[in-house]
Structure 1
Amino acid sequence: MTGSSLWLLPPPSHPLSSILKELITAKIPSHFPHLTSSPSLPPSFFEAHMTLTSEIPPSAYGSNPQAWLDSIPFPPAEQVKLRFGRIKSQDVFHRRCFVSVEYDGVKKVVAKAREHGVEGAGEEDKVDKWLEWWRNEYGAHVSLIYGDEKITEEVMKEIESVVQNAGVKLPEIDNKKGEWDGWEGGVVWLVPTDGPIKDWKPIATRQL
């Protein structure tokens, strides 16, 4: 990935913070080692997050990334509702397996991240066009696996079972009306993502 990214993580005290971390770094790799590592590809462990936007040039935040992050007029926490949908797979390394996220609950925070990180303040038209592309081609999601190995339907069902057994509600599978999993608000990280995955660490953070 070029430049830096803004990520949205669950609040540290939220149960999903530890559940997702264990799924990504331990439970899924132990159940599906062929998907998470290979002789030519070391395991890729990362913090559980939803990417708000990438492609942020370092010039955007300059020498004071924390001040820049604090200046973005994100919506208040109660207007940011990350809700999980189905587990899906795409033929893309960083989206090999992920939990989809409902668009409407995160649209506002994604728009502000894109506006101030890439397009420029006041460029609402550009942001709206990008949002339409992002929703259709990329989509809100929380990745569970980075990798090159294709995932069959049978294995996807096994992954769903592991995720559910870890305590994550998948309402479209469970068919429990009114129940959903996800979180409200969260923590935004500014992360340089143009280097190796093992070096993806925040240089600024902000609680919504």
Structure 2
Amino acid sequence: MTGASLWLCPPAGSSIETALQELISVTIPPHFGDEKVPAFRPHMTITSDIPDDLDPEGVLEKISLSSPLEVSFKELNIGKTYYTRGTLHLERTPAIVGLARQCRELFAHGGTEEEVVDRWEKEVFTPHVSLVYSAMDPVPDNIRKAVGQDLQEANVGVLHWNGPKGEMRGWKGGRISLVSTHKPIEEWKAMAERTL
């Protein structure tokens, strides 16, 4: 990945943060055999390609939020790239899309024109929470089913599942983090963080 990234993370210490971290770090990796899949913090990438020489606190201060942010899991998706191999796709709410557009326009590549942001939003932006980064391609059906089972057992729900009452189907609020994703995954860390 080039530059730094802005992430929307679950509220610190929340049940959904704990459940997702357990899935990412412990439960899902064994399905991928001998491949050493990395652990990472649960997050939705708002945008990437942010120059890493910008003032981290200044970036977070410039973000304005007009409505409360709510993340809702839509479906489990097995993607075609290393970073999207296993994801929870999210509902494209006006608040999520608005935040992504604002951050892309303000910070990506040091600032981007509105028409470029329009194209990025329509063709590239797919709000999701990654569960695994993997080189496995294709992912066999039995692994796809196992990851779905892991989600159900962790009580993490998506819209088309009728799970138990109290099922975790997303989060409200959380934290925006500017993360050093231009470095190797094991060196990713928050350069600055803002609680919503």
Q: Quick check: TM above 0.5?
A: yes
Q: Which residue does the alignment assign to 2:76?
A: 87
Which protein has the bigger helix share?
A: 1
Three-state SS of the structure 2 residue aligned to 1:194 is: coil
Alignment gaps of 5+ in structure 2 = none
Alignment gaps of 5+ in structure 1 = none
| Aligned-residue CA RMSD (Å) | 2.1
Paired amino acid for 1:57: P
Q: Which residue does the alignment assign to 1:143?
A: 130
Q: Which residue does the alignment assign to 2:124?
A: 134
* Equivalent residues in 2 for 1:120-131, closer than 5 Å: 123-131=113-121
- Superposed CA offset, 1:82-141 (max 9, x none): 110111111200111111111125111111211111166684333222211124xxx111
Instruction: Mark the CA change 1:153 to 1:122 in structure 2 (over 3 Å): closer, same or farther.
Output: closer
Instruction: Mark the CA change 1:180 to 1:23 in structure 2 (over 3 Å): closer, same or farther.
Output: closer
Instruction: Mark the CA change 1:162 to 1:122 in structure 2 (over 3 Å): closer, same or farther.
Output: closer
Q: State how far apart, in whole Å, the 1-side matches of 2:136 and 2:116 are.
A: 35
Percent identical pairs in the alignment equals: 32
Q: Which residue does the alignment assign to 1:54?
A: 48
Q: Which residue does the alignment assign to 2:15?
A: 15
Q: Which residue does the alignment assign to 1:97?
A: 86
Three-state SS of the structure 1 residue aligned to 2:179 is: strand
Instruction: Mark the CA change 1:121 to 1:172 in structure 2 (over 3 Å): closer, same or farther.
Output: same
Tell me the TM-score normalized by structure 2.
0.88
Paired amino acid for 2:20: L
Give the conservation status (yes or no) of the 8 Å contact 2:157–2:163. no
Tell me the TM-score normalized by structure 1.
0.84
- Structure 2 residue 6 is matched with structure 1 residue 6: yes
